Amino acid sequence: MTRLSVNINKVATLRNARGGNNPNLIQVALDCERFGAEGITVHPRPDERHIRFSDVVDLKKVLTTEFNIEGYPDDRYLKLIEQTRPAQATLVPDGPQAITSNAGWDTISHFEFLKKMTERIKLLGVRVSIFVDPEESMVEAAHKIGADHIELYTEPYASFFKVDKLTAIKPYIKAATLATKLGLGINAGHDLDLNNLHYLKQSISHLHEVSIGHALICDALYLGLENAIQLYLRQLK
């Protein structure tokens, strides 16, 4: 079964809006695990506008499922990975001011940089996933870089899903097929929700993990966190 990793950035955004510790980020993460999530994802930005670097350290102490830390591999991110040794480091190309991820890496033009970063992180015993667009050339380069996994950027799929889901999924099937042949694990994330998740899972049989935050937290406002997580898990079966 495809694993569900819950991105808790939005919970931290809500907490930071008023200061203090409400909602309690650590308790929410533990509740996500208790309600069935198989992983927790965070993306600490340099300005700490949602997840703080101290949150990452605190989460590492208590989580029992897979911990995934996303980020641009600058010195601060690399030090955090070295300090916490998560199960997975997901490398994203976002600049410091990016609101959210909006494209995958060009793994060809950034080949040497990503290869160096990947080698450095893997020496720590941490799995490396590289965030890519669903293009075979990007997948092939990620493999040559030495990544263990790729994470397919699914915003284009989600945007076109309601218009023509067959056309929307085609490049993802091609990219995933190549990734499987190359021995890469396949993750996916961005704008996945209860409407489009099952079709993605159904179409990519070797999908290892999805990372979902914004839509799941929004659904939790109406459905409750436990119910929302169970509904997302149901889409992955």
Would you please indicate which residues are annotated as catalytic (active-site) residues? 43, 70, 190
Alpha carbons 149 and 146: distance in angstroms, whole number: 9
Token pair of 59 as six digits? 């989460």
Strand-pair partners of 44: none
**What's the residue count for the chain?**
237
Strand-pair partners of 158: none
Alpha carbons 135 and 139: distance in angstroms, whole number: 6
Write the CA distances from 224 to 88, 100, 175, 235, integer angstroms: 28, 24, 35, 17
- Cα dihedral 80, 85, 88, 94 in deg (nearest 10): 10
Strand-pair partners of 153: 189
